Each structure stands twice: as structure tokens, then as C-alpha cells.
Amino acid sequence: MNVIGSLYFYVCAAVAIAGAIATVTARNPIRGAVSLLVMVVSIAGLFLALSAEFLAAIQLIVYAGAIVVLFLFVIMILGESSSSVHDKKRIVSRTLAAALLGAVSLGAIVLVVGVSTPLQAPRIRAGFGGIDAIGRALFSDWVVPFELSSALLMVAVLGAVAIAKGDIKRPLESAATTPGSASEEQP
């Protein structure tokens, strides 16, 4: 890999990590969504470095173009009243848990990097990341997980609709329970 390619990779990787950290640590939900957008764009840049132009385009269209915009739309509709209040209770236990998790994660990374031997990067096939290769893999080797994920998404959408409509009373039930209705006048 040449110097410019290495520099491009490290810049995209650093921006992706910074965007991910900013997404998790942002107190303002809009800033968190924008940080997610920055991370998604940098991941698309990493796909471009792998010569997977189709994956980069799908990454931008699906995540940046749809999901992040949907997040921003929901945040704008809900407004500031939906954001959580700053809870000062148990701040010490939360800080200790975060420090412990960080130490364990750092220890695991040091252990894996220290024990593992350097690996040679495999050669990339000529059709890697192209539309033909992705379609062939998706509809032959990965057809069952693909269909299961689509069924899972459908169930999630139906569940969200059911939860959203849960507060609405049915007209027949509300007419039967109102005072002075026809069902109460019967002797």
C-alpha cells in the first residue's frame, strides 16, 4: 500500500472512531445523530479504499440517506421534552462501572495485540464488492439469514405500529362504556 493510501485509511479510520465516540457521548440527540452521519460517511470511505464502490454507495444511501435522516426527523418531532433529565443519582457507581468496563476492554485489546502474530492481508478477488459478487453471495450462501432479517424487520415494524396505536380506544368499546349508553338502559 502506498503512502497516500495508508494516510487515507488512517484518516478515515480516525474519523470513524471519533464519530462513534461522539455519537455515544453526545448529550444533545441532534449532535449524536450528526456524529453518526460522520461515522457512516467515513465507513463509506473505508469501503472505497477496499475498491468496494457498490458497498460504499449502499452505505451512503441506506444509512446516511435514510436512517440518519429518520433519526433526525424523529428527534425534531419529539423535541426537547423527550430528552432524558440529567440524573445525578448513582453517578459514582456509573463512573466506576464505566472505568471498569474501559479497563477490561483495554486489557483485552492489549492481550489480543500482544499475543497474536502479525497476519498477512489476504489478496482481494477481482470482483470483490461488486454488484455481481454481492448478489451471488446474498442469494446463494446467505439467503436464509437475508430472509430471516427481512422477517425480523417486518415484525419490528408491526410491533412499532401496534405500540403506537395502543392508546387509541376502539369506537365500539368506548360507546359501550359511556354513561347513558344503550347498554346501560336495559333493565
- Tell me which long-range contacts 16-23 makes (C-beta under 8 A, separation of at least 24): 16/42, 16/43, 16/46
Q: How much is the pLDDT for 22?
A: 92
**pTM of full prediction above 0.75:** no
- Note the pLDDT tens digit of each residue in 80-114: 555 555 667 778 888 898 899 989 989 888 887 77
Of 142, 171, 173, 135, nearest in space to 55 by CA: 135
Torsion over CA: 62, 56, 23, 108 (sign): positive
Q: Give the Cα separation of 61 and 46 in Å (integer).
A: 15
Q: Calculate mean pLDDT across residues 153-161.
A: 82
- Residues 6+ positions from 50 with CB-CB distance below 8 Å: 124, 128, 129
Confidence band for 71, pLDDT divided at 50, 70 and 90: confident
Q: How much is the pLDDT for 40?
A: 92
Helix axes 3-25, 29-49, angle to 10 degrees: 160
Q: How much is the pLDDT for 138?
A: 83
Length of the chain: 187
Most confidently modeled range among 40-44, 52-56, 123-127, 138-142: 40-44
Q: How much is the pLDDT for 182?
A: 52
Q: How much is the pLDDT for 139?
A: 85
Of 2, 12, 14, 19, nearest in space to 46 by CA: 12
Q: Give the Cα separation of 45 and 60 in Å (integer).
A: 10
Q: Calculate mean pLDDT across residues 136-162.
A: 85
Q: Could you tell me how far CA 106 lies from the centroid of its own chain?
A: 23
- Specify whether the CB–CB gap between 33 and 71 falls below 8 A: yes
pLDDT over 60 (residue 127): yes
pLDDT over 70 (residue 11): yes
- Note the pLDDT tens digit of each residue in 12-58: 999 999 999 999 998 888 888 889 899 999 999 999 888 888 888 88
Q: Which residue did the predictor score with more confidence, 36 or 160?
A: 36
Q: How much is the pLDDT for 167?
A: 58
Q: Which residue did the predictor score with more confidence, 1 or 44?
A: 44
Burial 115-149 (b: 16+ CB within 10 A, else e): eeeeeeeeeeeeeebbeeebeeeeeeeeeeeeeee
